[in-house]
Chain A
Amino acid sequence: MKINDLEAILEDEGIVFLTYGGLLTQSLISGMTDALEHETQVNDMSMKVSHNLLTIFIELSQNMMNYSKNSSLQESGLNSKGLIVVGYDENSNSYYILSRNILDEKDKEKITPKIEQVLALNKDELKTLYRELRKSGKSKHEKGAGLGFVEVAKRCDQIEYSFSKINDTSYHYIFKAIIKNL
């Protein structure tokens, strides 16, 4: 195993930790949240930045967990290739949380307008949308009706996302949230 190569990549990219493959479970997410919280304390991060980072991490990883539970990709084996990376970029003094998983065409079409919608809004507008979404659909027990995206957008400084085609029906969906360590 080229463990030194792997280590070089982790160092280059400022990776705090990552998880790849296998089943993303609640106890794994909770353990990683703990580790991340510890990291923020060691680095003397403000509670605001720390909680933004933790909340976004929880949001993205639980999203991925829920998606892989419900997805039609379950049988194809593709759904187990989920990736979550938390890293720190020294140059810009910012943290990033990146998630990558596999989506089919239908979900790609569903998710794109939701992201575009939050990207077009400023912080005040996000706050308003957040409260509107939260108010709607009492006891519908929906997975937040897109509230998660708004939560992430509210709490980060920048979002990047992309899709890259794997085959005729599936895409790698990459979502990256960047938080300045101010």
Chain B
Amino acid sequence: MENLILEGTKYTPDIKLDADAGMVSMVGKSYPENTFEFYQPIMDWMEEYFAKNAKDKTTVNMEIIYFNSSSSKLFFDFFDVLDEAKAKHSIEINWIYDKENESALEAGEDFIEDFENLTINMVEKI
């Protein structure tokens, strides 16, 4: 399975989907013009990865500085994919935030509440 790497822009995060390492990361801001179109390849990659190529353990690092409401919806759907994969795969999620970034902290806590079965670590950036 090919890795998917997208360089970040002013309004989309750096995205690295590494099947060999079992590492998924998204770092940056997220307010694309067409959020669902933009993230569709990522969602497809995740589905394929968990269907055929998943490693024993998958680590997901999310560091989103700020995002629009459709990205928020998209991340929810993204966590939903992880939630469904959870039954068969070992997944650990790190929600990384700047300690001054209260809204990123709150967003992470909301996801923890919404996805009780997922392992989501709140990681304060140093």
Selected from B9, B33, B98, B102, the residue in CB contact (under 8 A) with A65 is B33
Please determine whether B110 and A131 come into contact, CB atoms closer than 8 angstroms. Answer: yes
* Complex interface: chain A residues within 8 A of B104 (CB): 51
Q: Per-position contact with B for A52-92: 1 when CB-CB < 8 Å, else 0?
A: 10110011001001000000000000000000000000000
In the complex, B73 has a CB within 8 A of chain A: yes
One of A9-17, A136-144, A173-181 contacting the partner: A136-144
Q: How far is the CA of A155 from the CA of B107 in the complex (A)?
A: 12
Would you give the shortest CB distance from A119 to chain B, in whole angstroms? 17
Selected from B68, B103, B114, the residue in CB contact (under 8 A) with A135 is B114
Q: How large is the interface on A (under 10, 10 to 19, 20 to 34, 35 or more residues)?
A: 20 to 34
Please determine whether A131 and B114 come into contact, CB atoms closer than 8 angstroms. Answer: yes
In the complex, A134 has a CB within 8 A of chain B: yes
Would you give the shortest CB distance from B13 to chain A, in whole angstroms? 14
One of A26-34, A95-103, A105-113, A161-169 contacting the partner: A26-34
Q: Per-position contact with A for B41-69: 1 when CB-CB < 8 Å, else 0?
A: 00000000000000000000000011111
Selected from B66, B70, B102, the residue in CB contact (under 8 A) with A54 is B66
Please determine whether B102 and A48 come into contact, CB atoms closer than 8 angstroms. Answer: yes
Q: How far is the CA of A30 from the CA of B8 in the complex (A)?
A: 13
Please determine whether A47 and B69 come into contact, CB atoms closer than 8 angstroms. Answer: no
Would you give the shortest CB distance from A139 to chain B, in whole angstroms? 6
Q: How far is the CA of A29 from the CA of B65 in the complex (A)?
A: 17
User: In chain A between 146 and 170, which residues have their CB closer than 8 angstroms to a CB of chain B?
Assistant: 147-148, 150-151, 155
Residue of A nearest to B100 (CB): A47
Q: Which residues of B contact A (CB under 8 A)?
A: 9-11, 31-33, 36, 65-70, 72-73, 76-77, 80, 98, 100-104, 110, 113-114
Q: Which residues of A contact B (CB under 8 A)?
A: 26, 29-30, 33-34, 46-48, 51-52, 54-55, 58-59, 62, 65, 127, 131, 134-135, 138-139, 141, 143-144, 147-148, 150-151, 155
- Can you give 27 contacting A-B residue pairs, CB < 8 Å? A26-B32, A29-B11, A30-B10, A30-B31, A34-B10, A46-B100, A47-B100, A47-B101, A48-B100, A51-B65, A51-B103, A51-B104, A54-B66, A55-B67, A55-B103, A58-B66, A59-B69, A131-B114, A134-B114, A141-B36, A143-B70, A144-B69, A147-B70, A147-B73, A148-B68, A151-B72, A155-B103
The 6 closest A-B pairs by CB, nearest first: A26-B33, A151-B69, A47-B100, A147-B69, A48-B102, A148-B69
